[in-house]
Amino acid sequence: MRQFRSMAYPYIIWIAAMIVVPMLMIFMYAFTVKGNDVTTFRFTIENFGKFFSDAIFIEVLKRSLFIAVITTIICVLLGYPAAYIIAQTEGKTKMFLILLITLPMWINMLVRTYAWMGILQDDGILNSILSIFGLDVKLLHTSFAVILGMVYNFIPFMILQIHTSLSKMDKSLIEAASDLGANKLQCFLRVTLPLSLPGVISGITLVFLPAVSSFFIPKLLGGGQFVLIGNVIESQFLTAGNWNFGSAISLIMAVIIMISMYITKKVDKVENGERGIFN
């Protein structure tokens, strides 16, 4: 194995250049502000103070977390049955179903979101169907549209993760459980569900992370008045030109995400009977 170790170097260099260096830069920016004529920058924590002292930013943060949590819950509720059904199938049917899930991902996310704008807008496809029944609903530029867009865009990650852990599962365990007298529901709750939890957990991570920091879905489907934390970060970089404050908010988000990942990992361990947060 030793001779293969050197093959990891390109990867390490890649990680260093593409992940570590940008992270360090965000860190640097977050803890500095533009200086005066003598020094180009100075260290400070005022960027963080600026964020936490402003009720509007806190409100936006709460809203973002709320939308992301709702999105994640819906993705689990819809994604788990879908993954379960796919895992029951075999061969070509399975490949076809997986293809159906991944097919939309071949198209750029932005394009798909624009398509939803066309479907949801006031004179769009959905509303013209609803108008046949005399209904006139405002769909676009609502939280419904934003959550719909997020669920639509991120649910494949959930389904694929759960599906992977379901199909890796040893089927003989279920047979053993049935032999020992467990009914179907008990089999599912006591065997299948716990064994698929790692997939659910990584699915939650993969949905929650992009959902909480997404900025173009709320912008397009929520309208300019639907501001999430991603939009605040975007505005700091693109219009306000305050990279320091933008980086500070990004860092706050990174910390929140890390904490939530830590908690889900702990919960995962508790479920698996290992030592968790509470014991």
**188: its two tokens:** 């599912």
Q: How far apart, in whole angstroms, are the C-alpha atoms of residue 267 and residue 273?
A: 10
Q: Tell me whether residue 39 or residue 239 sits nearer to another protein (CB atom).
A: 239
Q: How far apart, in whole angstroms, are the C-alpha atoms of residue 176 and residue 264?
A: 29
Binding site for another protein (CB under 8 A): 54, 56-57, 59-60, 122-123, 141, 223-225, 227, 231-232, 235-236, 238-242
Evaluated on CA atoms 259, 264, 269, 275, the torsion sign reads: positive
Q: Tell me whether residue 207 or residue 233 sits nearer to another protein (CB atom).
A: 233
Q: Tell me whether residue 157 or residue 226 sits nearer to another protein (CB atom).
A: 226
CA distances from 18 to 11, 12, 255, 274 (A): 10, 10, 19, 35
The distance of closest approach from Cβ of residue 141 to another protein in the complex, given in angstroms and rounded to an integer, is: 6
Q: Tell me whether residue 51 or residue 152 sits nearer to another protein (CB atom).
A: 51
The distance of closest approach from Cβ of residue 55 to another protein in the complex, given in angstroms and rounded to an integer, is: 9
The distance of closest approach from Cβ of residue 260 to another protein in the complex, given in angstroms and rounded to an integer, is: 22
Q: How far apart, in whole angstroms, are the C-alpha atoms of residue 121 and residue 157?
A: 27
Are residues 190 and 115 in contact, defined by beta-carbon separation less than 8 angstroms? Answer: no
Are residues 244 and 29 in contact, defined by beta-carbon separation less than 8 angstroms? Answer: yes
Q: Tell me whether residue 210 or residue 218 sits nearer to another protein (CB atom).
A: 218
Q: Which strand (E) or helix (H) includes residue 103?
A: none
The distance of closest approach from Cβ of residue 175 to another protein in the complex, given in angstroms and rounded to an integer, is: 55
The distance of closest approach from Cβ of residue 35 to another protein in the complex, given in angstroms and rounded to an integer, is: 14
Q: Tell me whether residue 209 or residue 229 sits nearer to another protein (CB atom).
A: 229
Q: Tell me whether residue 174 or residue 232 sits nearer to another protein (CB atom).
A: 232
The distance of closest approach from Cβ of residue 242 to another protein in the complex, given in angstroms and rounded to an integer, is: 6
The distance of closest approach from Cβ of residue 220 to another protein in the complex, given in angstroms and rounded to an integer, is: 9
Q: How far apart, in whole angstroms, are the C-alpha atoms of residue 89 and residue 100?
A: 14
Would you tell me how many other CB atoms lie within 10 Å of the CB of residue 39?
A: 9
Q: How far apart, in whole angstroms, are the C-alpha atoms of residue 184 and residue 2?
A: 48
**133: its two tokens:** 């029944």
Contacts of 24 (CB under 8 A, 6+ apart): none
